[in-house]
């Protein structure tokens, strides 16, 4: 099967912008606030969670350890977001006090997906479909759940082995949704980009928070907003994100002042989509 602009790839961490948008939709509807402590949503949470807000999860400043570091070595069944929560309820260690430092953590976005479920009283995948994908006409985009949903025109992931490639499509971290479970295509992501540019889902004021650098990155390259890296290039505002999982490499970047966006989706582990996206943007 040849790939086309309607082929759907696993987005990996590019998913985080959809999780952030789900939270923004609920915040704009006054269903929650960014300053809400996450302990409000998770009874029995460690005491430290009283000092961790939804904003901290959105901006990777919660201090929560990445769940991938504490998966029991004997684990063979793919984890879901609820499994991440159960792992974290027994973890007392923090990378740093909440709100004091940036440390990229997939944990926060798995927990955000569960918050959306609790507040909206519906499965996270259904919320994304009903409030984002369907209204925007993103018919092929899905938060994939094995045995529940299907991915139309699905690309499978591959990794180089010797002189060829082998399929490496799923792992024990491939079933969590909030941090990386969405599949989408170039055409559907063009609809997503248009919706952001035209404020079809939330107001400009709400989007400003997503595209503002709430925290500086340690390497000085920019900052992080709500599900987006924020930077400047040649004096122009740039927001972007990448995704990396077994068999897939993805990137989306948006020049906010030029109304120029580039999406690169690859189903091979050795691809460098962000470099390619910058190269393509430089030719426009």
Predicted confidence band of residue 260 (pLDDT cuts 50, 70, 90): very high
What is the model's pLDDT at position 284?
76
- Mark residue 106 as left, alpha or beta (left: phi above 0; alpha: psi -120 to 50; beta: remaining): alpha
The encoded tokens of residue 152 equal 């139309």
The tokens of 126 are what?
């259904």
Quick one: 198 exposed, middle or buried, by C-beta within 10 A (0-12, 13-18, 19+)? exposed
Q: What are the structure tokens assigned to 220, written together? A: 């000085």
Q: Residue 235 pLDDT > 90, yes or no?
A: no
Mean pLDDT within 240-247:
97
Gyration radius of the chain's alpha carbons: 18
Render pLDDT for 100-142 as a digit per residue (tens, 0 to 9). Answer: 999 999 999 999 999 999 999 999 999 999 999 999 999 999 9
pLDDT at 2 over 90: no
Residue with tokens 């007392």: 92
């Amino acid at each position: 099967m040849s790939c086309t602009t309607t082929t759907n790839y696993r987005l990996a961490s590019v998913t985080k912008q959809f999780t952030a948008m789900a939270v923004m939709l609920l915040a704009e509807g006054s269903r929650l606030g960014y300053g809400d402590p996450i302990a409000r949503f998770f009874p029995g949470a460690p005491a430290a969670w009283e000092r961790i807000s939804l904003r901290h999860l959105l901006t990777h400043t919660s201090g929560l350890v990445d769940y991938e570091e504490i998966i029991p070595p004997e684990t063979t069944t793919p984890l879901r977001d609820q499994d991440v929560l159960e792992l974290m309820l027994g973890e007392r260690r923090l990378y740093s006090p909440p709100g004091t430092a940036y440390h990229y953590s997939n944990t926060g976005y798995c927990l955000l997906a569960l918050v959306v479920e609790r507040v909206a009283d519906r499965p996270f995948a259904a919320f994304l479909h009903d409030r984002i994908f369907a209204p925007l006409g993103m018919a092929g985009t899905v938060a994939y759940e094995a045995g529940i949903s299907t991915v139309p025109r699905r690309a499978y992931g591959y990794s180089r082995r010797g002189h060829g490639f082998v399929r490496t499509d799923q792992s024990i971290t491939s079933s969590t949704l909030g941090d990386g479970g969405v599949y989408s295509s170039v055409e559907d992501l063009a609809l997503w980009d248009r919706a952001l540019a035209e404020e079809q889902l939330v107001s400009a004021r709400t989007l400003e928070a997503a595209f503002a650098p709430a925290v500086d990155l340690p390497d000085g390259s920019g900052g992080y907003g709500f599900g987006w890296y924020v930077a400047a290039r040649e004096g122009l505002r740039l927001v972007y994100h990448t995704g990396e999982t077994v068999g897939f490499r993805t990137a989306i970047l948006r020049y906010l002042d030029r109304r120029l966006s580039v999406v690169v989706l690859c189903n091979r582990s050795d691809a460098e989509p962000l470099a390619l996206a910058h190269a393509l943007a430089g030719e426009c």
